Amino acid sequence: MIPTPNLSHLKQSDYDLIYEPAEDTFLLLDALEVDADNLKNSKPRVCLEVGSGSGCVTSFIANILGPSVLYLCTDINPHACQCTLRTGVQNHVDIHVVNGSLDEPFQQRLSRKIDVIIFNPPYVPTSEEEAMIAQSSRNIGGAWAGGSDGMLVTNVLLQRIEALLSPNGRFYLVALKQNDIPKILQTMEQRFQLCGEIVLQRRAGREHLFIIRFLRGNKTLNQ
């Protein structure tokens, strides 16, 4: 059992401003735990979490992979960046946080250098307008509003994954049934030769959640 990160330093006043870990977060933690051995065997050096929110997920994967990995996080919400830092300190994990959108700050320098990318995106179908306003207001609304198919933000990152991943890199994505998972898998395979596999799925209330792991088409899990 990998311990769930200690979040006792985060209060309701923080969760008024940032995403509180929920079923999607916990399913992602469970998927990382399922993959713990092959994650370790892949000997990653650089891990990037996009949209780190509370910092819970990066602190958890750091418990799996240990201190010889560089843990980078981005979030558009400045409060989330502060909380991610505090969660790192609380859990003795050295996290490097940048207030930025998606992979933008690191795109140039970390091209083909990132071994693990993680994204639990704003995936909830909303109006396009609500999602665009949420993105530009950089507040808690940006934690879920995902536009008409819930893919407005995710689609932008999906276009960039291939250019970021190291030869042996992998990408974990949280998605909802309404996001059209067969279509995501097909696009990633046809356009980028990235093969996706569902690691875990779970129904939580009205949400049917999936964790997808993508690898380069010429790689298998145990390589």
Partner 1 sequence: MVRLITHNLLACHAKDCNTNNFPLEFKDVQLEIREADFNPDFLKGFMPKIEWKALVDTARQLGDTSLPLEQPEMLDDEFLKNLHHVLLEIHVEEGSMTCPNCKHVYPISNGIPNMLLAEHEIG
Ligand X SMILES: C[S@@+](CC[C@H](N)C(=O)[O-])C[C@H]1O[C@@H](n2cnc3c(N)ncnc32)[C@H](O)[C@@H]1O
The contact pattern for ligand X, residues 149-168, with x = CB under 6 A and - = no contact, is: ----x---------------
Question: Which of 99, 219 has the CB closer to ligand X?
Answer: 99
From the list 5, 142, 146, 150, which residue makes contact with ligand X (rule: CB under 6 A)?
Answer: 142
> How many other β-carbons are positioned within 10 Å of the β-carbon of residue 85?
16
Considering only the stretches 48-56, 105-113, 159-167, 185-193, report the one whose residues sit in contact with ligand X under the rule CB under 6 A: 48-56
Tokens of 188: 């990633």
∠ CA 56-60-65, nearest 5°, is: 145
Q: How far apart are CA 125 and CA 204, in angstroms?
A: 16
In single-letter form, the type of residue at position 120 comes to N
Of 19 and 192, which CB lies nearer to ligand X in the complex structure? 19
Amino acid present at 64? I
Helices (H), the chain: 12-15, 23-34, 36-41, 56-65, 78-90, 128-137, 152-158, 161-164, 181-192
Pick the binder of ligand X from 10, 27, 47, 76 (CB under 6 A): 76
Contact stretch for ligand X (CB under 6 A) within 49-57, 160-168, 175-183, 195-203:
49-57
CB of 19 to ligand X, least distance (A): 4
Q: 3-class SS at 139? A: coil
Q: Which does 42 bind (CB under 5 to 8 A by kind): partner 1, ligand X, none?
A: none
Distance of closest approach, residue 205 Cβ to ligand X, in angstroms? 15
Cα 114–chain centre separation: 13
Residues that bind ligand X (CB under 6 A): 19, 21, 25, 28, 50-54, 56-57, 74-77, 80, 101-102, 120-122, 135, 142-143, 153
